[in-house]
Every structure is written in C-alpha cells, then in structure tokens.
Structure 1
Amino acid sequence: MFLQANRRRARTAAVGAVAAAALLAGCSGGGGSGASDETLVVYTGQSGDYQANFNPYSPSVLEGPGTIFEPLFFYNLTKDEEPAPRLGTEYSWNEDGTELSVSLRDDVTWSDGEKFTADDVVFTLDMITEHPTMNGTGYRGKAEAVDDAHVKVTFDKPSFMEGPQVLGRIWIVPEHIWGKIEDPSKDVMKKPVGTGPFALEAFKAQAFTLKANAGYWDGEPAVKKIRYLSLSGNQAGADALAAGKIDWQTGPVPEIDKVEKNYPGYRAITVPMNQTVLMTCADKDRGCKGPQTDPAVRKAVYHALDRTQINELAFQGTSSGISPGFALPERDKAVVSPRLEDEFAPMKPETGEAAEVLEAAGYRKNPDGIYAKDGEPLEMTVKVVTGWTDYITAVDTMGQQLKKAGIKVTAQQLSWNEWSDARGQGEFELLIDSLYQGPAPDPYYLYNYFFSSATTAKVGEPANPNFSRWTDKAVDQALDELKEISREDTAERQKRFDTIQTAIEKGMPYIPVLTGGTTSEYNAEKFTGWPTEDNMYAFPAVWSRPDHSQIFMNLKPAE
C-alpha cells in the first residue's frame, strides 16, 4: 500500500512519463472498452504486470473483496457508527456474547444466477476454519444455517469483539463453486463468481476491467465499468493524473497541497490512518534469518531514525507521529498506554540510545564504522516496490540516517508481485509497508491481525497478515481476553492494551516509522459522491477493501 512521496529523480521520472504515455495511449484495448463517462479509471500503485488472482483470501489478491465478494456488513473504520447492511440485514448477540445471530437477504443471486443462501455463509466460515492461511481474522466460531436466511455462529467463550470481523471482514464465497476446489487456499480464482456490485469483465497483464453487476440486489451501480491500470510507479501515476487519464489514485503527486490548481477538475483528501513501518522477519524459530532477528537491532533502528526528515523528504509533510504501541495517536489517544517507555516515537534521531542498545548486546564498530558481532557486520536489505517513489525515498533517507548510527541498510527494488510474495512467505530481512486497521475503529483488530500467533506461519508458508512471524504468549492471552470484554468496560480493556503495547514496544517486530497521511486525488468533475471531510462515509483509499466498494457504489457520473 503506497502513500505519499517526494519527486522522483529526473532520470527515473522521465522513464516513468514515457511508460505512462505509452500505456495510456493504448489503454482502451487493455482491460475492456474505451473509457466513457460511466467508466472509472483507477490506479492502485501497481508496478509491473498484473497476475490474475481474485481469491479474496490470498495474501496477494489482486481485487475482489467488497467489489466481487461481499461481507455481511460494512464497517466505516473512520468513525464509530453502526455498520451498513450488505449481505446481512440484522444481527444480534445473546447476553453472554457466545452466540451471534445474523439475518440475511433472501433476494440475492450469485453472478452466475445461482441463489445465495445461508449455506454459502456457513460454507465460507467452515472453509477458513479448515484452512488456517485463509483465516486472516483468527475466526474460531462454529456456524450453522438455521434456515436459508438465518445463520447462527457460536463461540466457546464470550466473543463480542469477533462481531465486526465475522460481519465485516469475511468475504462470502459460493459453495457450489468453491466446494469443488481441492485446496481453495491456493486457487487464484481467475473467473470469480460473487454477489457483489461488480464482476470481472476482462483481464490483461497491463489492465483489467470490472463491470457493473446488472443483477445486484441493491440495483446496478451508476458506475458501469472500473478499469484498473498498471503503470511504472508514482511518477507515472502523477503524469496520468495530469493528462486526465485516471480518475482516482491513492498516492503522491508533486505539490500535494496544490492539487486543485495543478490538476483542474481534481480534488484531494488526506486521512491519517495506516501506519508506515519497517517490517522485520523477526522470529528465528520460525525460520527468519538475518541481523533483524535480534531485538536489539530492531530497537537501534527505531532510535536512529530522523522521522521529521523522512516526513519532509518522502511524504511532503503529510505523515504524522506514531506510537510504538501502535494505537493511533488521534483516534485511539485514550488507550495509548502510559506504561510505554515512549508514548510516541522520537521525531529526531537518538543515536546515543541506538549505540547503547547495540553495545549492550555485544556489537562493536568495525574499521568501516559499521557495527558487527561475531565477525558479522550489521548489514540488512530493505525490500521496496519499484516505482513507489515515496517509499523508495523513505528507504534511501533511512539508509543515510542509519549509516551515521553504524547500521548499513540497502534498498532492493522489486516488482509488486515479487515484493508481495516475499512478504507473504517471510523471505525478507526488512520490508517497507504499512499496517492497516480493522473493520471497526478499535486498535484491538490491528493487534489481532499483525501480532497474533493465529495469523502467522513459518518462513516458506504464507502468513496472513502477521508477516513478521513474531508472537508473544502474553499478547495472545490479552487478545483472547479482550474478545470477552465489552467495549464499554474501558478499565478492563486498558489492562490488556497495556500488556499488548508494552510487549510490542519491547519486541518491536514492526519498526514504527510514521502514521501515514493517506492522500487520494479524484476526478470531481467527472464523478460526484466522493467522501469528504464532512461526509467520511468510507476510508477514501482506492486499495482499501471493502471501503473502495462503498465509494464505487456511491459515485455517479456528473451531469
């Protein structure tokens, strides 16, 4: 997921511009028919050829969650409000939080004409239980169909916090198709069948197109086609925006504060949400290799970063501070633990602290000024996607900063497909990415996704999404206990948040960089209905699922 960036070096920018021009000149033949007033052209930051993968449970899924495959409800993670019905219409818990009852729509068909029923929901929940790598939420319930339009999910113990995950982050798939697949965790689902507002129309390596589902239960969307383009990176995205060839991208453009002036007809919106990190493959016992498996190295990197400079050079000042306990500084400020050593990561480098941590762990500087231990210099590689100029600039800047602290870090640029595979399989030392939020505005979900033993795996096996492979028994126990505690019991919840945040700060499997200010540029002249600061009905990022599907359904071609 790419956020904001500075300008690319001139030579790279020229290459990007040429590539963008070459692609856009012929994009009408890429993934469908030519762009009309009812076609929304989007750029997600894809660099390199697309590889068809529409399995919503795959770590490298291309598209599908929300658009093709629906959740039961939509949760707006930007604000605390009741979820919007999708395939579900109503839900309720029993008094002790061990039984979740869901009413379903009875007028829904799959895009191949088959009727959607409760059996599809039960099948989906059973499927992710049987295939742990598909179970990105750590679901542990037992589902049964009461009748065609009602499902009951039971849990062994109170599980109130499971509600938004079961209802809002599990993508319902058709039993009549997926039930015939030998191993659904590995199938890339090139011809997806869903209930969603859109269906796959055409696919090519440089572009693919979704078409409006004429039989959608809520009526055919006003946006008739969505074309996804693959470009050469951020600069190519900015060039395409300037040429009016794309309608929505979430990513950087030069002079981000002057979008309306520099791109007539376009507007921009920035929301602080996802947290930029250096992911580390942290756990030796799960097969991770490299200096970053030492917590002292991770802490030294944390102290040595100049976050103010990174924000200025890489993100045009759109990012903000971050807590090493990963509660959002603004949205979650009430639960940022007072027991943290640093409630917020230092914005200026602390090279003295970095040296102290390393030397206490037995590292000494070699003649080149780089720390070493047992004869091995402290050198690491950071994987970054080619063309993601904001992240490339951030990594280059961090490399210069860390060198002053005796740590050598080298960037390795990869295609998105290579980078995504490395992240999922644990084949990396460091990797720049961002941690995303859960289905509801509560830090519990981020902790459950990225720090739980239920969502990780050994190196060489797909982790989803605890890519660091780091786990902690106290964190697992606190997460289990949080499931049973009502959100209204803030005192009991805070005790568990304290445990989780202090353990995360100590282990630091994801080295906190900044809270990213996620900026989108969109064509307000061609389409109406975009989220605004006054009406933030969904998180406005083109790669955020299923939020993007809510926006697609809300848009209308301008008159």
Structure 2
Amino acid sequence: MFQQARRRRARVAAAGMAAIALLATACSGSGGSGGGAKDETLVVFTGQAGDYQANFNPFSPTMNEGAGTIFESLFYFNQVRDEPAEPLLGTEYSWNEDGTELSVTLREGVKWSDGEAFTADDVVFTLDMISKYKEMNGTGYKGRAEAVDDTHVKITFDEPSYMDGPQILGKIFIVPEHVWKAFEEPSKNTVTKPVGTGPYLLGDFKGQAFTLKANPGYWDGEPAVKQVRYIALSGNQAGADALKAAKIDWQTGPVPDMKNVEKNYPGYKAVTVPINQTALMTCSDAEMGCEGPQTDPAVRKAIYYAMDRSQINSLAFQGTSSQISPGFALVESNEELVSEKLKENLAPMKPNVSKATRLLEQAGYTKGPDGIYAKDGRELSLTVRVVSGWTDYITAVDTMAEQLKKAGIKLTSQQSSWNEWSEARGQGKYQLLIDSLYPGPTPDPYYTYSYFFSSETTAKVGETANPNFARYSDPRVDRALKELKRISPEAAEQRQRQYDVIQTRIEEDMPYIPILTAGTTSEYHASKFEGWPTEYNLYAVPAVWSRPDQAQIYKALKPAGK
C-alpha cells in the first residue's frame, strides 16, 4: 500500500531463507531474547518484497523507511483517536479567523543529525519544494510559506483551508535545506545517506536487512530501543515461522489461527484495528490513458455485485475484516457520516449474480459458449496485480476469480515483486490491483477522498499518480472537496452535504471496487518490550508499516523490566 497503504511485502523463497540466516546472525548479537544490549534491538518484518533498495526519500512512493523515524513532521495526529495533536518539530499552531492563515511555532534547539541547526527556513524550503514538484505533493498542498523568524512560520492560502492543517502539520516530513537544495530532481532522488531530526539514524544497510539506530542527539532524548532491525522474508508464512521462533518482535499481517496468538506464540500478543479499506483499484479512465474493460463503469459494478464478501472474509482474512460502504466512509469510526443518499449504505456480503449479469448485458456484453461475456469481439478478461507472498490478498483474488466466473467474468492473478507492483500502481500500468485505501491524519473521511478521488492527486498513465492511482476525476467531487476545505470541521450539517455528493458520485462511478474493511492485525513481542499500543490504549496506529505511527511506537517502547 502506498503506504501505504503500506502493506505486507514479500520476496522469493530462496532469498527469504538467506534473510532468515542473516536474521539469526543479527539476533545472536543484538536481536534475540535475553539480557543486555540484545534486548535493546527491535526486529521488525514489514513484509518486504525483494531486496531492499537504498531509498530513504520520505516523498518517494518506493521508500524503505524514514518518514517519522528519520524525518519528522511538525506534529503527530492520531488517526484512530480524536485528540489534540502531539507536538514534534512544532510546539503550537493557530488559524486566523477566516481560515486563510496558519501560524506555527517551532521547537527551539533542534539539530539535524549532521549537527546543523533546524530552523523555519527548512520548513519553508520543504513546503516550497512539494509545491514545485506535483509528484511529491501527496496532500494537495497549495499554501505559501514564509519564515517570520527562526522559530515561526506563517502559511497563507487564497481561500479558507481548515482541512489542510492536519495534512501540513502531520503528513509532510521536513527535510534539511542545506542538503536537499543540491538535489536536481528531489522527487526522484534516492536518498541513501539521510540527514534528519528524528529519533533514529540509518545504521548498516544490506539488501536483505537494514538497521535504524537510536539518535543520541534527539531533541526528546535518545530512545530506549537502541536499534530497529528491518528484515526481508519470503512472505506471510515465513513471517509466522519467524514469529514462532521468536526471531522477530513485531509484524503486521496474518498468521495461522489469528484468534489464538497468545497461545500459539508464547510471549506475543496481538491487536486488531479496522482502519484501511480493502479494494480492487482500477485504472478507470480511458481519457487518462487506461486500457481494458475495467474502464467501463458497468464492468466495475458487475464485479462489485458478483463478489461473495462473506466467503472472501472467511477464506482470505480469517474473519477479521468487516463490512465496507461503497461511499468509503469508514463504517467503524464514521458510521454517522455514511450518506443516506447512497443506493446501498453497505456493500452486500452475498453475491447478486443476476444483477451483475444484467448490468453487463445492458452495457452490450453477450455471453459466449464458455460462459464468459464478450463485447466487440473481446472477452471480458481482467488481470489483477498482487504482490508475491501476500497470501491473504492472493487467496482473496483467487477466491474472487472463482466467484466472478459465475457472472461471466474472467479474472487472472498476476503476482510480482513489491517493487514491480508499486511501479505499476504509480504509473497506471495495470487493469486491476488489490490494495487498501487509507485515512488521513485524523479520522475525518475528507482525507481519504482528497487522497484517492481528487483530480489534484492523479496523473495520466505513464506519469506518477500520488495517491489517486485509479486516475479518477469528477468535477462534482472536486467541487465538494474544495467546499469541505473551506468549511470548519465543527459545521457538521454543511460538511455532510458535501459528503453526500462525494459518496453518491463514487458509488456511481466505482473507480475503487470495495471489498471489505480490513482488520489490521499486528503481533508483537510483549515479553521482550513493553509500552505497545493496545485496544484500550491506541496512542498510535499499531501497524509496522504505518508512518509516522511506527516512530511513535518505537519511542514509547522499552525493554521489558527496565
């Protein structure tokens, strides 16, 4: 996931075995259970696909790490709890009366990891940079920043922009001007020697594993977890095996019998949070260069109705997922915002094959002797991109393929490395792709809509979209997003009218075909480290690939008993 929607990644089995050997070596010196320094190394598995490529650019869709750990935002906003932002590089912020000016006070005495002083000029440089390079501007930032003095920044907008606040403050990672000003193409630069203000520095780096080491000069004090070791394995099963052998301390992903983690993995616990929304992404717009039958809304809706979501949940996700709305307001946390104007508030859990086939026939498709529909001599055959080793997603796609046959649709899984999958997603070189839509810095659904459904965050096929990978563009949605940005978050009725517009439009067009709301489950080594988020204390999103939440967790952890 783009962070994405950052989901479980995997790599070929042979390389995974090599990584296990490397991991075992690392654990013997700094990562296993026991006493001393080795208890201060946290070993994590994000699901990495293929060898790591040294890229710590926090604005790159293919970065390994860095956002939150090496590079910091001004504040931290908790996506799962509605609470005040936590100060990081910033200490205070405020809006003027009409929401056109955002003033930020910065923390004094912060140093970059190379010893240079952090100042307001770095913040202004970062904001100006993403304004210049659209592919870096995943938040749609349109302000103008100026340094009032070394510790104060003023950001002005041409119109009220309340909703930009959490994005600018919590989702833009500040980089050092004195380093980055030398980059000719910062959007494409693979940062191999990152200089940041965060709690961690880059340690050793190899293709199969790399280490972040605690920053002794961190403004908030050196973290108790002295090292974080990122390792690559051969997929979800390899992650479960490493967990069973106590070779990793934290992973986010499925394991066998997920309901009994504490019994099956002594010393470990698990936490599940419904936060991301699993969907079939479609390259939806032929005018943007997309090719294939998925550019027809009738095909997308037919797929939507042909799914047996109960079966998918059972076979692929061990029953941890839940219902999803076709308007993509997160049901668990924003149920009151699900539009009453939707044709269906929730996606059906059982298939409606007759409705699916009726939609296809009304769109001019006819069923062939093999039971598969065709139009203009072309069979209704679609390819779904999925990352090798993502066993839950692979099972979900294989299950859907069998289900869609009953509606006359041929679905084929195309597995590849995460790097290839991510490149195809960003460039629009796919028909269908399974991934998740993620929320923004706060629970407000505005951010999901502005990320994935705005014309501002997409691009033609062959150019990098970030993160509107579906190439979706609708002027009514764009107008509603513009209005939401202007309306105070407290004006609930005014905001709901705009949500109604967005939700009904995306239900009609369906550029992302809803599957289920994912129950994101993490397994963590509770007997080795303490301070983990729990369902009773969700101080951060407990997913190892969720940035900058992972950094908040690393900072909160300490070796058990210390």
User: TM-score band (shorter)?
Assistant: over 0.9
SS at match of 1:172: coil
TM-score, with normalisation over the residues of structure 1?
Answer: 0.96
Letter in 2 for 1:474: R
| Matched-pair contact (CA < 8 Å) for 1:31–1:207 | no
Mapped partners of 1:29, 1:539: distance in 2: 30
Name the SS for the 1:119 alignment partner: helix
The one-letter amino acid paired with 1:110 is W
Residue 26 of structure 1 corresponds to: 22
Deviation at residue 536 of structure 1 after TM alignment: 0.7
Residue number in structure 2 paired with 1:235: 237
Partners in 1 of 2:102 and 2:167 — Cα distance? 12
Aligned-partner Cα distance in 2 for 1:32–1:188 = 31
Encode CA deviations 1:283-329: one digit per residue, 9 max, x unaligned: 11111111101111100000000000000000000000000000011
1:28 Cα deviation after fit: 5.6
Q: Which residue of 1 aligns with 2:463?
A: 461
CA contact (8 A) 2:100 2:159 kept: yes
Contact 1:105 1:149 survives alignment (8 Å): yes
2:403 equivalent among 398, 401, 404 = 401
Task: Give the percent of matched residue pairs that are identical in Structure 1 and Structure 2.
Answer: 68
Q: Is the 8 A contact 2:57 2:66 kept in 1?
A: yes
State how 1:162-177 maps to structure 2 within 5 Å: 162-177=164-179
Q: Deviations 1:507-541 (Å, cap 9, x if unpaired)?
A: 10100000000000000000000001111100100
Q: Distance in 2 between matches of 1:304 and 1:294?
A: 16
Aligned counterpart, 2:222: 220
* 2:142 is the counterpart of 1:140: yes
* Gap change, CA 1:278 and 1:260, over 3 Å in 2: same
Q: Which residue in 2 is equivalent to 1:326?
A: 328
- Asked whether the 8 Å contact 2:302–2:355 carries over to 1, the reply is yes
Q: 2:534 is paired with a residue of what secondary structure?
A: coil
TM-score, length basis structure 2 = 0.96
Deviations 1:81-131 (A, max 9, x none): 000001000000001000000000111011111100000000000000000
Q: Map 1:117-136; keep pairs closer than 5 Å.
A: 117-136=119-138
**Match in the other structure for 1:37:** 39
Give the match's secondary structure for 1:249. Answer: strand
Cα 1:109/1:523, change in 2 over 3 Å: same
What's the secondary structure of 1:261's corresponding residue?
Answer: helix
Equivalent of residue 54 in structure 1, options 53, 56, 72? 56
Give the C-alpha shift of residue 199 in structure 1: 1.0
1:281 is displaced (CA, Å) by 0.5
1:526 aligns with 2:528: yes
- Shift of residue 32 of structure 1? 12
Given candidates 378, 381, 392, the residue that maps to 1:379 is 381
CA contact (8 A) 2:24 2:247 kept: no
1:80 equivalent in structure 2: 82
CA apart distance, 1:52: 1.5
What is the alpha-carbon distance in structure 1 between the residues aligned to residue 241 and residue 18 of structure 2? 12
Q: Please report how far the alpha carbon of residue 22 of structure 1 lies from its aligned counterpart in structure 2 after TM superposition.
A: 4.3
The offset of 1:190, in angstroms, is 1.0
For structure 1, the 5+ residue unaligned runs are 6-11
User: What pairs with 1:476-491 in structure 2 (closer than 5 Å)?
Assistant: 476-491=478-493
Instruction: State the secondary structure of the residue aligned to 2:333.
Output: coil
Asked if residue 424 in structure 1 is aligned to residue 398 in structure 2, the reply is: no
Q: 2:72 — aligned with what?
A: 70
Q: Structure 1: which amino acid aligns with 2:311?
A: Q
Partner letter of residue 554 of structure 1? A
Instruction: Give distance in 2, aligned partners of 1:53 and 1:429.
Output: 27
Q: Residues 37-64 of structure 1, C-alpha deviation per residue, up to 9 Å, x if partnerless? A: 1000000111211111111111111111
Cα separation, 1, equivalents of 2:17 and 2:134: 43
Distance 2:21 2:145 in 1: 51
8 Å Cα contact 1:32/1:209 also seen in 2: no
Question: Distance in 1 between the 2:463 and 2:392 partners?
Answer: 29
Q: Is the 8 A contact 1:20 1:239 kept in 2?
A: no
- Match of residue 303, structure 1, among 302, 305, 309: 305
Distance 1:21 1:426 in 2: 33
Residue of structure 2 in register with 1:8 after alignment:
none
Q: Residue deviations 1:309-350, cap 9 Å, x none?
A: 000000000000000000011211111001111110000001
2:439, 2:447 within 8 Å by CA — same for their partners in 1? yes
Kindly tell me the number of residue pairs found equivalent between the two proteins: 551
1:276-291 correspondence to structure 2 within 5 Å:
276-291=278-293
Alignment correspondent of 1:354:
356
The alignment partner of 2:197 has SS state of: coil
Q: For the residues of structure 2 that align with 1:505 and 1:257, how far apart are their CA atoms?
A: 33
The alignment partner of 1:71 has SS state of coil
CA RMSD in angstroms comes to 1.8
| 2:30–2:40 CA contact under 8 A, matched in 1 | no
Mapped partners of 1:112, 1:324: distance in 2: 48
Question: What is residue 203 of structure 1 aligned with on the other side?
Answer: 205
Shift of 1:79: 1.0
1:553 alignment partner AA: K
Correspondence 1:97-116 to 2 at 5 A: 97-116=99-118
8 Å contact 1:275–1:515 — kept in the other structure? yes
For structure 2, list consecutive stretches of 5 or more residues without a partner in the other structure: 32-37
